[in-house]
Structure 1
Amino acid sequence: MKMKCLSILFIIVLSLSNNAAVAQDNFDELKALILKEKIDSSKAKIAKTYLKRSIRKSDTLNIANAYLFLSAYDPSNKVAYIDSIINLTRNKSYYRFPAVSYLQKGVAKYESGNYIEALELYIKASETAKKGENHTIYLSAKFNIGLLKNMSGDREGALNIFAEYVAFLEQSPQYKTEYTYNRGLFALADSYIYTKKLDLAEITIDKGIKESLKTQDSIIYSYLLVTSGIHQYLINDYHKAIDSLQKGKKLIKQFDDVETRIATCNYYIGRSYKGLGDERKSIYYFKNTDTNLRKTKDVIPDIIDVYDDLRAFAKSKNDYELQIEYINTQLELDSISHANQINLTRNITKKYDAAELKSEKERLIKQFEKDSFLKDNTISFLIILSVVLVLVAIYGFRKSYLNKIRFQKLLEQQKKPKADKSEVITSISNDLTKKEDIDIPADVIETILKKLHDFEDKNQFAKKHYTLNSLAKELNTNSAYLSKIINVFKNVNFANYLNNLRVDFAVEELSTNKSLRSYTIQAIAEEVGFKNAQSFSSAFYKKTGIYPSYFIKHVKSS
Structure 2
Amino acid sequence: MMRFIFPIILLFTNCFFAQGNKIDTLNKFGYSELKNKFYNYNDNIKTDKAKIIAQYYLQKAKNEKNTLQIADGYVLTHFNENFSNALKYLDSAATITKNLKGTIYPSQTYLMKGNLYYKYDNLKVALDNYILGLQYAKEQKDQKLTSYANMNIAYLNSYIGKNAEAAKTFRYYLYNGKNITDESQHNQMRVSLIYCYIEINKLDSAKLLIKEGLRSQFTNKNKYIVSQYSYYSGYLDLKQKKYKAAIAELSKAYTYYSSINDNNANYALFNLGKAFDGLANKEKAAENYTKLDSITVKSNYTFPELREVYTYLIDYYKEKNNKEKQLYYIDRFLKVDKKLDEQFRYLSVELPKKYDTPNLIQQKENIINDLKNKKIVLYASIVTLLLILLLLTYLYYKAKKTEKKHQKVAQELINSIEIRNFEIPEGKLDTTYIQETEPVNIEDKAIKATPEDVIQFILKELEIFETKELFLKKGITSASLAKSIKTNTSYLSEVINTQKEKNFAAYLNDLRINYALNRLVRDRKFRSYKLSVIADELGYNNEQAFSLAFKKKTGTTLSIYIKEIEKSINPE
Q: TM-score, normalised by structure 1?
A: 0.55
The alpha carbon displacement at 1:85 in A equals 4.9
Contact 1:109-1:115 within 8 A present in 2 as well: yes
Contact 1:98-1:128 within 8 A present in 2 as well: yes
2:295 equivalent among 287, 292, 295: 292
- Cα 1:110–1:265 shift into 2, 3 Å: closer
SS of structure 1 residue aligned to 2:9: coil
Which residue is equivalent to 1:251? 256
Superposition pairs of residues 476-555 of structure 1, within 5 angstroms: 488-489=556-557
Instruction: Give yes or no for the alignment of 1:207 onto 2:212.
Output: yes
- Cα 1:317–1:98 shift into 2, 3 Å: closer
Which residue is equivalent to 2:542? 423
The alpha carbon displacement at 1:235 in A equals 0.5
Q: State how far apart, in whole Å, the 2-side matches of 1:295 and 1:246 are.
A: 22
Contact 1:186-1:220 within 8 A present in 2 as well: no
2:145 equivalent among 137, 143, 153: 137
Q: State how far apart, in whole Å, the 2-side matches of 1:304 and 1:218 are.
A: 30
Q: State how far apart, in whole Å, the 2-side matches of 1:206 and 1:82 are.
A: 41
Instruction: Give yes or no for the alignment of 1:434 onto 2:437.
Output: no
Superposition pairs of residues 218-257 of structure 1, within 5 angstroms: 218-257=223-262
Q: CA-atom RMSD, angstroms?
A: 4.1
The alpha carbon displacement at 1:248 in A equals 0.8
Instruction: Give yes or no for the alignment of 1:51 onto 2:65.
Output: yes
Counterpart residue type for residue 329 of structure 2: Y
Q: State how far apart, in whole Å, the 2-side matches of 1:208 and 1:199 are.
A: 14
Instruction: Give yes or no for the alignment of 1:312 onto 2:315.
Output: yes
Instruction: Give yes or no for the alignment of 1:333 onto 2:333.
Output: no
Q: Which string of whole-angstrom CA distances, capped at 9 and with x for unpartnered residues, describes residues 249-307 of structure 1? A: 1111222343xx33322222222222223333333333333333434333221242123
- Cα 1:155–1:343 shift into 2, 3 Å: farther
* Structure in which a larger fraction of residues adopt helix: 1
SS of structure 2 residue aligned to 1:201: helix
- Cα 1:64–1:233 shift into 2, 3 Å: same
Instruction: Give yes or no for the alignment of 1:97 onto 2:165.
Output: no
Q: Which string of whole-angstrom CA distances, capped at 9 and with x for unpartnered residues, describes residues 490-530 of structure 1? A: 6759xxx9xx9xxxxxxxxxxxxxxxxxxxxxxxxxxxxxx
Which residue is equivalent to 1:121? 129
Q: Which string of whole-angstrom CA distances, capped at 9 and with x for unpartnered residues, describes residues 191-231 of structure 1? A: 11222221111112222233376451221221221122111
The alpha carbon displacement at 1:314 in A equals 2.2
Which residue is equivalent to 2:95? 84
Q: Whose radius of gyration is greater, 1 or 2? A: 2
Which residue is equivalent to 1:283? 286
Superposition pairs of residues 345-356 of structure 1, within 5 angstroms: none
The alpha carbon displacement at 1:344 in A equals 6.3
Counterpart residue type for residue 141 of structure 1: A
- Cα 1:86–1:15 shift into 2, 3 Å: farther
Instruction: Give yes or no for the alignment of 1:3 onto 2:3.
Output: yes
- Cα 1:193–1:415 shift into 2, 3 Å: farther
Structure 1 residues without counterparts, runs of 5 or longer: 17-27, 53-62, 348-408, 437-487, 501-540, 547-558
Which residue is equivalent to 2:114? 106
Q: State how far apart, in whole Å, the 2-side matches of 1:234 and 1:310 are.
A: 21
1:68 equivalent among 72, 80, 83: 72
Counterpart residue type for residue 173 of structure 2: Y
The alpha carbon displacement at 1:417 in A equals 7.2
Q: State how far apart, in whole Å, the 2-side matches of 1:207 and 1:269 are.
A: 24
Contact 2:54-2:77 within 8 A present in 1 as well: yes
- Cα 1:104–1:311 shift into 2, 3 Å: closer
Superposition pairs of residues 347-366 of structure 1, within 5 angstroms: none
- Cα 1:318–1:428 shift into 2, 3 Å: same
Contact 1:193-1:231 within 8 A present in 2 as well: yes
Contact 2:241-2:278 within 8 A present in 1 as well: yes
- Cα 1:51–1:152 shift into 2, 3 Å: farther
Counterpart residue type for residue 190 of structure 2: L
Contact 1:47-1:66 within 8 A present in 2 as well: yes
Contact 2:219-2:225 within 8 A present in 1 as well: no
The alpha carbon displacement at 1:319 in A equals 3.3
Q: Which string of whole-angstrom CA distances, capped at 9 and with x for unpartnered residues, describes residues 68-119 of structure 1? A: 2443258766223321255224xx5x25233222222322333344433322
Query: Which deviates more from structure 2 when the two are superposed, residues 280-289 or residues 323-332?
Result: 280-289
Instruction: Give yes or no for the alignment of 1:195 onto 2:200.
Output: yes
Which residue is equivalent to 2:510? none
Contact 1:85-1:101 within 8 A present in 2 as well: no
Which residue is equivalent to 1:60? none
Contact 1:233-1:241 within 8 A present in 2 as well: yes
Q: State how far apart, in whole Å, the 1-side matches of 2:142 and 2:570 are.
A: 48
SS of structure 1 residue aligned to 2:321: coil
Query: Which deviates more from structure 2 when the two are superposed, residues 136-145 or residues 425-434?
Result: 425-434
Contact 1:213-1:221 within 8 A present in 2 as well: no
Q: State how far apart, in whole Å, the 2-side matches of 1:113 and 1:274 are.
A: 28
The alpha carbon displacement at 1:147 in A equals 1.7
The alpha carbon displacement at 1:339 in A equals 8.0
Q: State how far apart, in whole Å, the 2-side matches of 1:5 and 1:47 are.
A: 28
Q: State how far apart, in whole Å, the 1-side matches of 2:99 and 2:273 are.
A: 53
Which residue is equivalent to 1:159? 167
Counterpart residue type for residue 272 of structure 2: I
- Cα 1:206–1:281 shift into 2, 3 Å: same
The alpha carbon displacement at 1:233 in A equals 0.7
- Cα 1:100–1:414 shift into 2, 3 Å: farther
- Cα 1:429–1:334 shift into 2, 3 Å: closer
- Cα 1:50–1:204 shift into 2, 3 Å: same
The alpha carbon displacement at 1:243 in A equals 0.4
Query: Which deviates more from structure 2 when the two are superposed, residues 298-307 or residues 285-294?
Result: 285-294
- Cα 1:12–1:211 shift into 2, 3 Å: farther
Q: State how far apart, in whole Å, the 2-side matches of 1:263 and 1:141 are.
A: 26
Query: Which deviates more from structure 2 when the two are superposed, residues 149-158 or residues 413-422?
Result: 413-422
Q: State how far apart, in whole Å, the 2-side matches of 1:191 and 1:43 are.
A: 38
Counterpart residue type for residue 284 of structure 1: E
Contact 1:34-1:46 within 8 A present in 2 as well: no
Counterpart residue type for residue 9 of structure 2: L
- Cα 1:432–1:138 shift into 2, 3 Å: closer
The alpha carbon displacement at 1:242 in A equals 0.6
- Cα 1:302–1:245 shift into 2, 3 Å: same
SS of structure 1 residue aligned to 2:216: helix
